[in-house]
Amino acid sequence: MPFEIVRNDIVKMQADAIVNTANPYPEIGSGVDTAIHTAAGPELLQARKLIGNIARGDAAITPAFGMQAKYVIHTVGPVWEGGNVAEAECLRSCYRKSLELAQENGCESIAFPLLATGNYGFPKDQALQIAVSTISNFLLKHDMMVYLVVFHEKAYALSEKLFKDVQSYIDEHYVAEKLEEEYAKNLPYGELLERRMIRERRERLKEVTLPISNDIMPDFVVGCGSISLEDLLQEEEMTFSEALLDWLIAKDLNDPDVYKKANIDRKLFSKIRNNPDYKPKKNTAIALALALELDLEETKEFIGRAGYALTHSSKYDIIIEYFIRQKNYNVFEINEVLFAYNYPLIGA
């Protein structure tokens, strides 16, 4: 099952287990701890007292009592002291042990806050990277729906370098596209339409040369690659599902390798794989292209089978292109950026 970053109040999440940023002692702390104890009722504190102290990096489980969830998992994060006293490993342990407890107790879903970033002072960008990497590594081996719940924008931060790199790439490509669009507004409608048609055809036929004399060949076809018209027509007939199967065979991948990396549900993957006429949503098609680790041209051709394209008039598409050009196919890391820009997540 997939991993999703959501904006919500964690006590309102519908999940089997809710993770609490607990006090190391059996006392109610501030922030998330207070909110969860208030929602669960006084019985939660009594159950917490039976557990006693919890070491930093460790986790314990109790019933959720008055909450919608079945369980509350109490974990104690590290206090940030500059990063020199194994704070990162302690935080990874919080996520890992909470996930293990949820699995041991038959949970199919779990919701985390961004741990240790409140009073404990863990830098939000580093905490986010640890949360995403630990959760995604767990999901490559296990099936569980995992939510990372962010209450407000101030609680969420990308690394400064990643944000600057992505924003720079967006600015470079999005602005150029918009300038072209502004210029095109002043063109007569007929010329504008013709330019768009030629640009689309060139994009689709970049590497295609038809066996036709140049005397009768349209401008947008001249100077391209070498493939027969018959081959081209056969390619056009291939569905997205058939293309997916071809790539699975070509890359010698099994189904779990792909749907887990794509951050999509096994049942949805099965529908796409077994129904030649199934048309996935754009974010699902992109997720599968990333899981297959296709390059940019392969990605465009692949998602084109489902009727989609990547363009520089969409910041969402530019972000996807940036990561593909960087050869970073990690859907979970890409979703960090998409969430920061308030775009739909890939896969989930």
- pLDDT tens-digit series, residues 215-264: 444 444 444 445 565 665 555 578 999 999 999 999 999 999 899 999 99
143 is catalytic: no
Residues whose CB falls within 8 Å of the CB of residue 135, separated by 6 or more in sequence, listed in order: 3, 95, 99, 112, 146, 148, 332
Asked whether 5 and 150 are in contact (CB, 8 A), the reply is yes
pLDDT at position 226, please? 54
Is the confidence at residue 289, as pLDDT, over 50? yes
Q: CB-side exposure of 163: number of CA atoms within 13 Å?
A: 9
pLDDT band at 40 (very low <50, low <70, confident <90, very high): very high
In the chain, what is the greatest distance between 2 CA atoms, to the nearest angstrom?
87
Provide the angle, in degrees to the nearest 10, between the axes of the packed helices 331-340 and 160-184.
70
Asked whether 264 and 252 are in contact (CB, 8 A), the reply is no
The label of the residue with tokens 């050869």 reads: 327
Q: Give me the mean pLDDT over the 44-55 stretch.
A: 97
For the chain, give the percent of residues with pLDDT over 90: 67
20 or 196, which is more confident? Answer: 20
pLDDT band at 177 (very low <50, low <70, confident <90, very high): low
The label of the residue with tokens 């997916």 reads: 244
Q: What share of the chain is helix, strand, coil (3-state, %, to 5)?
A: 50, 10, 40
Q: Is 236 exposed, middle or buried (0-12, 13-18, 19+ CB in 10 A)?
A: exposed
Degrees to nearest 5, angle at CA 71 with 68 and 77: 115
Pairwise CA distance, residues 4 & 346, whole Å: 9
Is the confidence at residue 22, as pLDDT, over 80? yes
pTM: 0.78
The catalytically annotated residue of 9, 16, 33, 257 is 33
Choice among 49-63, 94-108, 172-186 with the minimum mean pLDDT = 172-186
pLDDT at position 243, please? 94
Asked whether 174 and 341 are in contact (CB, 8 A), the reply is no
The sign of the dihedral angle between the CA atoms of 240, 246, 251, 252 is positive
Structure tokens at 258: 């792909």
23 or 201, which is more confident? Answer: 23
* 3 state DSSP class of 220: coil
Asked whether 259 and 291 are in contact (CB, 8 A), the reply is yes
Is the confidence at residue 101, as pLDDT, over 70? yes
* 3 state DSSP class of 109: strand
Provide the angle, in degrees to the nearest 10, between the axes of the packed helices 315-325 and 331-340.
150
Is the confidence at residue 197, as pLDDT, over 80? no
Pairwise CA distance, residues 138 & 95, whole Å: 10
Average pLDDT, the chain: 85
pLDDT band at 174 (very low <50, low <70, confident <90, very high): confident
For residue 147, what are the β-bridge partners? 4, 111
Identify the structural domains of the chain with CATH numbers, from first to last: 3-155 (3.40.220.10), 160-187+238-340 (no CATH)
Is the confidence at residue 109, as pLDDT, over 80? yes
With residue 111 as reference, give the H or E element that holds it: strand 109-113
